[in-house]
Structure 1
Amino acid sequence: MTATAHETVRDAGRALGIPDPVTEAFVRLLRPCVYPCLYEQLPEESRKHAGPAARAGGSAHLPVDVVVPAYVPHLVTVDCAAIPTDVLDIDFPADGHVAILAEITDQDAGFAIHVPAGTETVERRPRETEPDALKPCASFPL
């Protein structure tokens, strides 16, 4: 977290009457994040430099040798090069894409698969023989 963001959180805590040690404990739990949204939801001043950084829904594009159960749907694919890695506090690939597949149930089966740039991929669609497979929703850019 940047010093400016840290001060902003401290100031907000003080304005709400939260003791500094509690605010500091909260700040230690905060992590940078990326919030993908629809182009139309961006503030006007951000639109001129914005471009798609992810694709939600639709089918995942994965290397041929990656095996994922058909019932685990594709949620989002993120373009790694579009993510500002200099603000993240985790290792994140600089190229290629990361496909996120997850089942939102009580079993929480999920996969995050990094596909390096230049890797040949195929569209992963449910097979007719997999009756438990969820049909993908229409794809849209974020």
Structure 2
Amino acid sequence: MSGHGTIRLPFGNAEYDFNVAKHKQLFELQDKCGVSATGMDGEIIHIPSGPLEIFTRLRGGSWREADVVNAIRLGLIGGGTTVPETLKLMKEFVEDQPLGSLAPLAARILYACVYGVHGDELGKPAAEGAKSEAEDSTSSVPRSTEPAPE
């Protein structure tokens, strides 16, 4: 893995790295997936949605188009795919596709952002943070109690 929250997943015709845990992608995701509300003075205000809120919507089936599309788009960019290549992939494999079939991918991208990826250790380069299965199996600490995304 190339950093905290990076996960390699099949998408379209290949496997790609996805990461929305980077600040730039996370802030944009929160803003794009936010909600609007009317304030006490009648003014419409925008409320960003945090990554756990977006993940919960994706897992619970109450997602919005913005949740699915932006998680995939920003995940590709954060994972290292160039913007032109990301736009091409989005046009080919997301635009005009049933979003329900893409929601599980978006949920896995957000899961990696919220809960991390096995082997990632925040603050350490990927090579230092990664452990082999043999090293990891000697620990008495359970890996995770969080369910894997569906």
Q: Under a length normalisation based on structure 1, what TM-score does the superposition of the two structures give? A: 0.27
Larger RCO, structures 1/2 (Cα 8 Å, 6+ apart): 2
